[in-house]
Amino acid sequence: MKGIGAVLIDIDGVLTVSWKALPGTVAAMERLRAAGLPLVLVTNTTSRTRAAVAGRLAGEGFPVGVDDILTAPAVTAAYLREHHPQARCRLINSGEVGEDLAGVTLVGAGAGADDAGRDGPEVVVLGGAGEAFGYPALNSAFRDLQRGARLVAMHRNLYWRTADGLELDTGAFLPGLERAAGVEATVTGKPAAEFFATALAHLGVPAGEALMVGDDIESDVLAAQRCGITGVLVRTGKYLPETHRAADGTPDHVLDSFADLPGLLGPG
């Protein structure tokens, strides 16, 4: 392929599953590095900080550092600092990512509010699903939204793949919360166009010179293509043939694995 000057790469399901490198992915990234191709790892992972993600990937042998990682929590923090400065935010998330939420005022589950909403959370922030997404937490968020709090979600992913199989994620709960409270969430991670714009700015390339590799046809690939980025779907991770067939669009390219990417890009 000619004209590709940088690569955006999803992590979970593309490079790793349950943080273990998929076959051939380390070697493929080493080839991209050897070719001098700029890259950024873009992930909706909400359970680890950028530093923790970089450390875990480096431990698997990937040639990456913290500056190569762009996460949904980091982008969410930037959004909150710009659009809701000093707002009291209640975070519902399975994972400790406080380090990447610098400048955001977080209040705990015990932060109450009177009937007018005074002193209660002004923004409800949904991260990744898991043990934290129990009935008490979601019902508390529902009440905050009824009192006028804004709703921000780091992503709408329905599920992700672990070593034990597919598991439900935030997108399985978010529509019900929106409908019950009569609100619409602002989504900050993939597939939000702003997320891809942030990644392109990080790389310093226009959309037409970038390529996005992902296992989620909607949030990774088609969302990137709508932004003018070349999309590559890989048949690993959460990839399902029926989801591929039912998608609203067609990926620019489909590969069996990220390990095949250097071959698509050409010699190097």
Contact (CB, 8 A) for 113 and 119: yes
| pLDDT score of 112 | 52
| pLDDT score of 1 | 66
In whole angstroms, what is the distance from residue 170 CA to residue 30 CA?
Answer: 33
| pLDDT score of 264 | 96
Tokens coding 109: 């589950």
Question: How far, CA to CA in Å, does 189 sit from each of 73, 79, 111, 118?
Answer: 8, 10, 26, 29
In whole angstroms, what is the distance from residue 211 CA to residue 232 CA?
Answer: 7
pLDDT digits (tens, 9 = 90+) for 138-193: 999 999 999 999 999 999 988 887 888 889 999 999 999 999 999 999 999 999 99
16 phi and psi angles, rounded to 5 deg = -140, 165
Task: Please compute the mean of the pLDDT values over residues 229-245 and round it to a whole number.
Answer: 96
The candidate with the shortest Cα–Cα distance to 121, out of 91, 79, 100, is 91
User: Dmax over Cα atoms in the chain, in whole Å?
Assistant: 64
| pLDDT score of 116 | 45
Of 105-119, 137-151, 190-204, the one with minimum mean pLDDT is: 105-119
70 phi and psi angles, rounded to 5 deg = -125, 115
Where b means 16+ CB within 10 Å and e means fewer, 111-137 reads eebeeeeeebbbbbbbbbbbebbeeeb
Contact (CB, 8 A) for 263 and 243: no
| pLDDT score of 267 | 57
Preceding amide of 191 cis, omega within 30 = yes
What are the DSSP E strand ranges found in 32-191? 39-43, 69-71, 88-92, 105-106, 123-126, 150-153, 159-162, 165-168, 186-187
Single-letter amino acid code for the residue at 193: A
The angle formed by the CA atoms of residues 4, 70 and 98, to the nearest 5 degrees, is 180
Percentage of the chain lying above the pLDDT 70 cut: 95
In whole angstroms, what is the distance from residue 92 CA to residue 8 CA?
Answer: 27
Bridge partners of residue 96, in order along the sequence: none
| pLDDT score of 115 | 46
Q: Report residue 30's pLDDT band, with 50, 70 and 90 as the boundaries.
A: very high
Contact (CB, 8 A) for 225 and 233: no
Contact (CB, 8 A) for 145 and 151: yes
